[in-house]
Amino acid sequence: MFQLHAVDLFIIIFYFAFVLGVGFYLKNFTKSGEDFFMAGRNQTAWIAGISFIAANMGALELMGWSSATYQYGMLAVHWYWIGAIPAILFLGIFMMPFYHVSKTHSVPGYLQLRFGEGSRALAGVTFVVMTVLASGINMYSMGLVLEDFFGWDFDTSIWITAMTVAAYVTMAGLTSAIFNEIVQFFLIWAGCLLIPILGLIEIGGWDKLVELVNRQSAALAPAGAPVLDRMHIWSTMATPEANPMGMHWLGIVFGLCFVLSMGYWTTDYLVVQRVLTTKDIRSAKTAPIIGSFFKMAIPFIVILPGLIGFAVIPGLLPESPDISATQSYNAVLPLMMKRYFAPGMIGLGVIALIAGFMSGMAGNVSAFATVWTYDIYRSYINKNASDSHYLKLGRISTVLGVLVSIATTYIVKRFSSIMDYMQALFSFFIAPLFATVLLGMFWKRTTAKAGFWGLLLGMCTSVGIFFGVRAEILDPRIVAFSANPSTMAINMWQAAWAFTVNLIATVVITFFTRPKPDSELVGLVYGVSAVPHEGPSPWYRRPAMWAWLSFAIFLVLNIIFW
């Protein structure tokens, strides 16, 4: 157990008072539905870019990837580099022009313009389901940490934190969520930065860390089996048996980079919503590119602590009912905080964790309120209400989203790893959605019926594989092309299969159905639309220049850790 001192408690109480104060102050500037749901569409590229990344930095980042690094080694960094950077740059340069010009409130809103009400309904309902399920992971992780490491009651912890999020998001909507996410982003860095610094000092530097990790890997290897390399990200991917994840490089490149990553960063409304709040086309294109630089740096405070934990705290185990939570992979980040933090710093570390949980939850709840209000309620229940009515409903649906998230918290307990839970959700909804948006935005021949049925078949494929493997109807070795695939590997291929089925089904159905005339696709599809441009500007202000710089750094990092 951590021992909290008076200064730690003061820091924690001050933080909760601060985020509530931000919401109360910004409430005065929230007068319309556009203010509440879209932050007035007047945000700068820097604000939107940092919020774009901060909304993704929930428990999935802090707890999940430190845990995954302890289990799989440096391979976890793929989810930050190849599993993020190409997709983020693609969103900024190629997709944001159409999202921004269409003035849609959501990704399902774009599908309505492109494919009709059926596709919007399917995407909207499934997004709402995914959002509240994903929100449960933030609350579960936070409650578990506060209970196991600080002795706080699980239920009390999640209710207090959830109601705090409900309060500041209800008061000022997305504006409050964005500004609190930016504060939380820097609090996370402040609270976690000392772990890798002090860890490397204790160990004796990077070379000594590599030596210790290799030694621990050798100790874990069964007699006569090869020692798995945990310190390289590509050189061990030629065969699944050569790396701890049991993954072939094709699964990373196709399943993660092209399907899951592209799907998440370009169609998941949780993150896309932040960029839609920008004030002009230049800011809309630049915001994701700014976010890509921060994303590449996050492994320093997430991946590196997992590696150091593997070296200095050996013996952590997969989560199971037979061991305590403090002995599982998911405990590595809190254990590292306990190892290095003194009074005062412990309070900051606690705030870093809580900020991550609250940031992720606020992102999910604000996105839930927008999609529920605009894409479900306004579209199918009450189409002609006043703006003030939708604003009131947005506030009510925020509270409803928090309450449903609390209920879904307990679903997470059925999964052995919080990362497995999230990747399964993404493969259900995000992977097939990406195929639909991709074809719809870049192939004008795609028809409305093809878009709907392709999306539905893709989702059914992923869900079918998930339950088929667990019911032992499907052989996971065939699904993942590996003799001994990890759950993570199965999830990657599950997403790839869903994307592929959707793609093929949409293309085939398209040729048997009637497309829309070009006049109805203007502003929605490449080839029939004038691509919006940010206008003349010096070279150093052009989004494309910064995108190329980001991509160059991405390539260098992959070469260094090859």
pLDDT one-digit tens code per residue, 23-81: 888 888 888 888 888 877 888 999 999 998 988 776 667 777 888 898 888 999 999 99
For residues 102 and 110, the answer to whether their CB atoms sit within 8 Å is: yes
Q: What is residue 100's predicted lDDT score, i.e. its pLDDT?
A: 76
Q: What is residue 273's predicted lDDT score, i.e. its pLDDT?
A: 83
Percent of the chain with pLDDT over 90: 25
Q: Give the pLDDT mean for 81-110.
A: 84
Q: Given the structure tokens 């740059």, which residue do they identify?
A: 89
Q: Given the structure tokens 């319309």, which residue do they identify?
A: 32
Give 407's contacts (C-beta < 8 A, 6+ positions apart): 136
Task: Tell me which of 7-11, 210-214, 393-397, 498-502 is least confident.
Answer: 7-11
Distance CA 455, CA 503 (A): 9
Q: What is residue 242's predicted lDDT score, i.e. its pLDDT?
A: 83
Distance CA 386, CA 377 (A): 13
Residue 226, H or E segment = none
Q: Given the structure tokens 């500007």, which residue do they identify?
A: 537
Q: What is residue 141's predicted lDDT score, i.e. its pLDDT?
A: 72
Q: Which residue segments constitute the domains of the chain, with CATH numbers given?
A: 36-220+228-530+538-560 (1.20.1730.10)
Instruction: Please state, rounded to an integer, the average pLDDT across all residues of the chain.
Output: 85
Q: What is residue 323's predicted lDDT score, i.e. its pLDDT?
A: 67
Count CB atoms within 10 A of the CB of residue 208. 13
User: φ, ψ for residue 397 (rounded to 5)?
Assistant: -70, -25
Give 347's contacts (C-beta < 8 A, 6+ positions apart): 4, 5, 7, 8, 9, 10, 11, 12
Distance CA 84, CA 79 (A): 6
CA neighbours closer than 13 Å in the CB half-sphere of residue 490: 25
Judged by DSSP in three states, 349 sits in helix
Distance CA 188, CA 151 (A): 22
The widest CA-to-CA distance across the chain, in whole angstroms, is 71
Residues 247-299: pLDDT tens digits? 889 888 888 888 888 888 988 777 888 888 888 889 989 999 999 999 999 99
User: Which amino acid is it at 492?
Assistant: M
Would you tell me the crossing angle of helices 345-370 and 6-26 to the nearest 10 degrees?
A: 30
pLDDT category at 523 given cuts 50, 70, 90 is confident
Distance CA 373, CA 124 (A): 10
Q: Given the structure tokens 């409903």, which residue do they identify?
A: 393
User: Which amino acid is it at 435?
Assistant: A
For residues 89 and 419, the answer to whether their CB atoms sit within 8 Å is: no
